[in-house]
Structure 1
């Protein structure tokens, strides 16, 4: 098959495309310019004419490529497929749905309805997608378990890494409280994070937190491996790539996970609802190196079973082949 991957969120398109190429399919990547992506949502509509020109150029190039199917990542970008009139799979990732505005919500709904099939990457997105597409499917994100792998055991490091952005949507306020509590109960515990987000200044004031400028993604496995504990998002209730990649690195992950029915086998996160829970669990892990190793090994094994690249590529390939052949979409295996 000839497949075009449009956009890339958390390297999902890269991982899937690489897996499809390894199976003999032709896969090309296209990256929209996303003009004005960092502007306030109420201001973004003024960039509409520039984005429209970019979309028209993408449509022209995709048509010239004579692809059998297009796989589009980020909900409203599905309108590239709708406008271009070619068959597409729409892959929703989170902010593309949760961050919808009065301007983008109709575009998102149109893109979802016109897609040949819809995937969503975290189970909490079901409430956003299923009312529009009851046949939409939760597809676990592919994790490169060869790249994200433990080089040292977590017991070798008594330090914590905050893997999520320091924003309200990620529950940074709860993590901030946890860090304040840990500064009192475990003053020797070093906590590191990337700066960025509305809570950055508050974290910078804490004596036990060190903030760093963002590094290239290629450095993430090493950064994770230099810490014994990972703190993930504390608000959304579902795991993203940051939490999954940390688990693949054999690190125990303290996060809020509230989607137990999404998997046939619940993930071994250390689930924490608020800042007090986070501080208690992180403190317990900091005090018990053997527990860090056991929890880390269990998480690594679970990711290998449920988020391996080949497993995800199997499903995308099966759906794509059915669409290209004009056949019904085969039933999805249990997550």
Structure 2
């Protein structure tokens, strides 16, 4: 273990989107470091406005006490949300920032939030981002920002598959891994489900999550998708693991759900935006999905055709994808990238 910069023995992570901080801390702690994750405070829900206000105040004071105690032991802070800066800036000091999506992709363009996001990005010692689509939203403010591909848990244990408890769950199924929202390409996914249902034998079920936009959820159900509740991590992973094939979001990127399918060697049908998957990082070339940069994200017909092709391909002839995830999206790979970023910034 290198001793440069005290080798970052103690780092405090604030926030945990997509469990990135948890996986980074786990990988770091396995090397003898002492990294801790402190989730950001959540406002309690109450019907009474007074109770809501008091609850928020109590939760905020309790969280700030925990934050201050944790920071005394770990003065380096890795912040996982630009939106949180006004709430923690009083005690942050020198920090690095990790951007995961909405804060830089959406909020920076909303007048109410632009200055907040800009300050968080501008004052960070180093800036990381988790998916390649975020790069274009950062280049004007921090052109040196570094991609840290979303880490995936490669040791998720087996769990009960709640879908298998249903009467019609004995056959194989295709799983739509993403929530049903326009930002995820939900309309195209619904059309792909219609195409698939028209071509698949009744013994093959379409399965998705009852999560997202209510109109798209209803449209998915009408298209013949069996909807199951949003699931805890291990159960969700088991549904992926047992699927004959998975259909990813059609927004042009791979998020954690799609990467989890690849980690289980389940065929994943997903379009990738060629302007993002441009080989500018080793994880952005030769991505082992069905379709990839050659697949039009609006082409529901071809998404269905590729899904049928994946189902008809013998398991022995399917590409193994877990090794690719291990190389580019493992917690160890993410930790290596983060440590390189720390050192490059002289943090």
Q: Give the shorter-chain TM-score range.
A: 0.7 to 0.9
Matched, 1:89 2:96: yes
- In structure 2, what is the equivalent of residue 191 of structure 1? 206
Q: How do 1:20-169 and structure 2 match up within 5 A?
A: 20-35=28-43, 58=63, 60-65=65-70, 66=72, 67-100=74-107, 101-147=110-156, 158-169=172-183
Q: Deviations over 1:113-148 (max 9, x none)?
A: 111111100011001122111111111111222228
CA distance in 2, matches of 1:96, 1:48: 25
- In structure 2, what is the equivalent of residue 44 of structure 1? none
Which residue, 10, 16, 20 being the options, matches 1:12?
Answer: 20
- In structure 1, what is the equivalent of residue 262 of structure 2? 247
Contact conserved, 1:148 with 1:246, CA < 8 A, in 2? no
Count of residues in correspondence between the two structures? 305
Cα deviation for residue 60 of structure 1 reads: 4.9
CA distance in 2, matches of 1:118, 1:81: 17
Cα deviation for residue 81 of structure 1 reads: 4.9
Matched, 1:181 2:201: no
Change (3 A) 1:288 1:315: closer
CA distance in 1, matches of 2:57, 2:124: 19
Which residue, 288, 294, 301 being the options, matches 1:276?
Answer: 301
Q: How do 1:294-333 and structure 2 match up within 5 A?
A: 294-295=318-319, 297=320, 299-320=321-342, 327=346
CA distance in 2, matches of 1:115, 1:50: 31
Change (3 A) 1:36 1:175: farther
Cα deviation for residue 206 of structure 1 reads: 2.3
Cα deviation for residue 34 of structure 1 reads: 3.5
- TM-score, with structure 2 as normaliser: 0.79
- In structure 1, what is the equivalent of residue 163 of structure 2? none
Q: Is there any run of 5+ residues in structure 2 with no aligned partner, and where?
A: 1-8, 46-51, 159-169
Contact conserved, 2:146 with 2:341, CA < 8 A, in 1? no
CA distance in 1, matches of 2:343, 2:55: 34
The Cα RMSD (Å) is 2.8
Contact conserved, 1:122 with 1:138, CA < 8 A, in 2? yes
